[in-house]
Amino acid sequence: MAEALPFDHVGLQDDSSLQARIRSAAELLGESVRTRVNVLSFEGVRRMI
């Protein structure tokens, strides 16, 4: 996780459990996630990447 935090992220909706887990992991490292765009589904993430 620490290696990915310096980069912009494509995230899921703010209320998704996965997005909450990613945010919590970043907070444990004393960092925050730089989200470039939020999408509604994994398909949306796949298309953005």
- Ordered per-residue pLDDT tens for the chain, 49 residues: 999 999 999 999 888 999 999 999 999 999 999 999 999 998 998 888 8
The tokens for 16 are: 């998704």
The tokens for 24 are: 């919590």
- What pLDDT was estimated at residue 49? 82
Domain spans in the chain, listed from the N-terminal domain onward: 8-48
- What pLDDT was estimated at residue 32? 94
Give the CA angle between residues 42, 47, 49 to the nearest 5°. 95
C-alpha to C-alpha distance for 12 and 45, rounded to whole angstroms: 7
- What pLDDT was estimated at residue 14? 85
C-alpha to C-alpha distance for 12 and 24, rounded to whole angstroms: 14
- What pLDDT was estimated at residue 25? 96
- State the pTM of this model: 0.79
